[in-house]
Amino acid sequence: MPDYLDDLRLAHVLADAADAATMDRFKALDLKVETKPDMTPVSEADKAAEELIRGQLQRARPRDSVLGEEYGTEGTGPRRWVIDPIDGTKNYIRGVPVWATLISLTEAGEGGYHPVVGLVSAPALGRRWWAAKGHGAFTGRNLTAASRLHVSGVGKLSDASFAYSSLSGWEEQGRLDGFLDLTRQVWRTRAYGDFWPYMMVAEGSIDICAEPELSLWDMAATAIVVTEAGGAFTGLDGRPGPHSGNAAASNGLLHDELLAYLNPRH
């Protein structure tokens, strides 16, 4: 089995470059922000970071394809890098430090492409998390200054901390009643949003999290970090991995209960 460690090292190099570019424009008074056709914002920093990563990948891995949020898919082949240059753009443009660059390497397999490397870098928080298939998940400043991640051992919903992003998406999908029922069963709820809850599941500081609507680039990196930390990452339909257009992540012990609450009951 390939060990993917060279690819993981490259992901750190890519993230270092992206972090420098995004931090340089964070809280800039002259930051340019546009609205995309789906009415979500995109900043010049999103575009610049993705261009930077694509340029470095073109030099370091010219045979690999790339899928990015801002510029779509380029190239073909069994290996595909998946990039979200700034996950949490709305936070970024408002000066909230909860945003990250997400970098994942995926490989073609049964049922589509599957993450084999994932890195989440949140420079304004001073945090970075990463994983490679079969090697576990870690957090730290770099590869040599890192500690291993492991999900929590909480086995009862009444003891669990649950994180989410917002309420509106659950309501639009007819899942709000189950969502609210779940919030009444758990010990604690917090709306941290974006990449952060998944990383907190991986490091065991919360136990369950979910979002009703996501894109592949939102999930590819976070999925492998959660699973390599010993957790479960599926769609709300229970399908493993980042392929369902939404996500549920947990320490594994609470996963079936999490899904049961979040799927409409007839």
**Domain spanning 157-262 has what CATH number?**
3.40.190.80
Name the residue type at position 44: E
Cα first-last separation, the chain: 44
Domain ranges of the chain: 4-148, 157-262
222-253 pLDDT, tens per residue? Answer: 999 999 999 999 999 999 999 999 999 999 99
Q: Is 51 annotated as a binding residue?
A: no
pLDDT at 266 over 60: no
Mean model confidence pLDDT for the chain: 92
Q: Is 218 annotated as a binding residue?
A: yes
pLDDT given for residue 45 in this prediction: 81
Q: Is 69 annotated as a binding residue?
A: yes
Task: Over range 132-151, report the average pLDDT.
Answer: 94
pLDDT given for residue 92 in this prediction: 87
**Domain spanning 4-148 has what CATH number?**
3.30.540.10
Alpha-carbon gap, residue 85 to 184, rounded angstroms:
35
28-40 pLDDT, tens per residue? Answer: 666 677 776 665 6
82's CB contacts (< 8 A; 6+ apart) are: 66, 67, 68, 102, 103, 104, 105, 106, 113, 115, 216, 217, 220, 221
- Cβ atoms within 10 A of the Cβ of 104, count? 31
Which uninterrupted H or E stretch holds 170?
helix 168-172
pLDDT at 125 over 60: yes
Q: How much of the chain exceeds pLDDT 90, in percent? A: 76
Q: Is 208 annotated as a binding residue?
A: no
pLDDT given for residue 166 in this prediction: 85
pLDDT given for residue 2 in this prediction: 73
Q: Is 257 annotated as a binding residue?
A: no
Given this chain, do its domains 4-148 and 157-262 carry the same CATH topology? no
* Closest to 214 measured CA to CA, from 121, 43, 107, 87: 87
145-191 pLDDT, tens per residue? Answer: 899 999 999 999 999 999 998 888 999 999 999 999 999 999 999 99
Place of tokens 């991640």: 149
Comparing 26 with 66, which gets the higher pLDDT? 66
Task: Judge contact between 223 and 84, C-beta under 8 A.
Answer: no
